[in-house]
Structure 1
Amino acid sequence: MAKKYKEDQIYSICDYPPYRGGSNPDINRNTYKIMDLKSASAPNHDAVVIEFGKRLNDGTKRLADSLGITTLQVAIVPSSEQGKVSVGLEAMLNHVQDVNIIYNKKFIVRDVTVPKAHLGGGRSYQKNIDSVSVHVKPDPNIPLLLIDDVSTSGNSLNSCREILLKSGVKRVYMVTIGRTV
C-alpha cells in the first residue's frame, strides 16, 4: 500500500496472474497463494492468512498514520453467493494488530446470489449495485477500509464503495489482496 492514500484508488498487496485452469503461462507463487487464501481447506491456507495478514497490518498502519487516526472500520466485499464472506479475509483481520479495527460482516452484504465473475459471470458495476446492500450502518465519521481478495475490473470494490458512501460513510479506502495482471 502507498504512503499517501486516495479514496478513489484501489491499492493491492500483490499482483495476481489468474490460474485459468492451469493454462496461464504467467502463473506464479501469488497465484497459488491467492487460491489458498480463498479455500479454507487448502493445505497452505493458514500460512497464507498469516503472510497476507501481516502485510495487511503493515498497510493499515500506514493508512491510519497517514490519516492521523488509530481506528479504522473494515468491510469485506461479499462473495458472489448470498450471505457469504471470505473466511480467508476475515481470518487476515486477526493479524491486524497495529490499528484498532471495527469489523462487522453486515457492513456490506450480498442479498442475491450472482454468477461468479471468474467462471464467466458478468463483471458489471450494476450487478453489484443491484445485489449488495448495507445491513449495519458503519459510523460515518470513522474512515472505512474496504477489502477484496482479487480485483480484475475494480467494479466490485468501486460499486461497494459507492453503496457505503450512499449509506453515509464519509471516507472509504479500497485494497485488494491480488490485482489481476
Structure 2
Amino acid sequence: MDISHESLHGQDITILGPYRPWRYHKEQGGDGSNYPSHSGRILDLKDSKAEGIDYFCTFISPRIGRYSLVAAVPSHDPAKTVSGIKSLAAKLEAAVNCKNVSSLVVRHTKIQKLADGGNRSVDIHLGSIAIENAEPIAGHSILLLDDVMTTGNSLLACRKLLLDAGADLVKCVALGRTTY
C-alpha cells in the first residue's frame, strides 16, 4: 500500500493509497487490464465482496493498536444500512479486540452524492449525521474508517461528532484518496 498522510483543517488523515474512479479510468481509455489494483480492492470492498473486505482487514488489524473502538462513516443515503466499509468495521471487531460502534454514527438525512454534484461541506454532513448514543463512545479511542476520501469532509464531520460525544481520540483513515 502507498500510505500517506494529509492534513485537513489541522487534522491528520491516514490514506492507504490512491483511488482512481472506474468511470474516469474508462474515459481515459483504460480497462480492467490496467486498472490500479488498490482501486480495484476498494471497488471490491464497496461491492461488499469478501476479497476486498479481507484485504483491508488483513492490513489494518495488526495496526489497530490503541483503538478500543472502530466506526465507519455512514453512506450518503440513510436507507443504505449495509455497506462494505461497515462490513470491514464488523470484520475488524471480530479479528481484534475492538468494538464496532458504526451503528451509533447514523446518517438521518439523505444528501446528494458528491459524484452527482452534491454539496458535501462539513456543515452538510454535520446537519445530516448524528451520534445515536454517546455512552459507549465516551472515554474511548476510535479508529474512524471511510472507503474513499474526496474532500475529507465526511471524515471531519464524523470525527467532530464523535469527539463531541466524549471520545478521547479519533483517528481518521481513508482506504483511498480520489485521484484523477
User: TM over 0.5: same fold?
Assistant: yes
| Equivalent pair of 1:72/1:101 in contact (CA under 8 Å) | yes
TM-score between the two structures when normalised by the length of structure 2: 0.80
Within the candidate set 36, 44, 66, 2:44 is matched to: 36
Alignment deviations for residues 68-124 of structure 1 (CA, whole Å, 9 cap, x no partner)? xxx511111000001534532233232566641111233210000111112221221
Please identify, of 107-116 and 20-29, the stretch whose mean Cα deviation from structure 2 is larger.
Answer: 20-29
**Aligned residues of 1:38 and 1:86 also touching (Cα < 8 A):** no
Alignment RMSD (CA, Å) = 2.3
Distance, in Å, in 2 between the alignment partners of 1:76 and 1:103 is: 9
Is the Cα–Cα contact under 8 Å of residues 92 and 98 in structure 2 kept in the other structure? no
Extract structure 1 runs of 4+ deviating beyond 6 A: none
Q: Matches of 2:143 and 2:87 in 1, distance apart?
A: 16
- Provide the C-alpha distance between the structure 2 equivalents of 1:52 and 1:139, rounded to a whole number of angstroms: 24
Q: 1:156 maps to what in 2?
A: 154
Deviation at 1:59, TM superposition (A): 2.6
The code of the aligned residue for 2:15 comes to: S
- 1:78 matched to which residue of 2? 74
Gaps of 5+ in 1: 65-70
TM-score (norm 1): 0.80
Residue by residue over 1:104-149, the C-alpha shift from the partner in whole angstroms, topping out at 9 and shown as x without a partner, is 2332100001111122212211110110000021332110111111
> Hey, what does 2:97 align to over in structure 1?
100
Give the alignment of 1:1-181 within 5 angstroms.
Answer: 8-21=11-24, 22-24=26-28, 27-40=35-48, 45-61=49-65, 64=66, 72-85=68-81, 87-93=83-89, 94-95=91-92, 99-137=96-134, 138-181=136-179
Alpha carbons of structure 1 residues 19 and 84: separation in structure 2 relative to 1, 3 Å: same
The residue type equivalent to 2:162 in the other structure is L
Instruction: Give 5+ residue unaligned stretches, structure 2.
Output: 5-9
The equivalent of 1:68 in structure 2 is none
Instruction: Name whichever of 80-89 and 111-120 sits farther off.
Output: 80-89
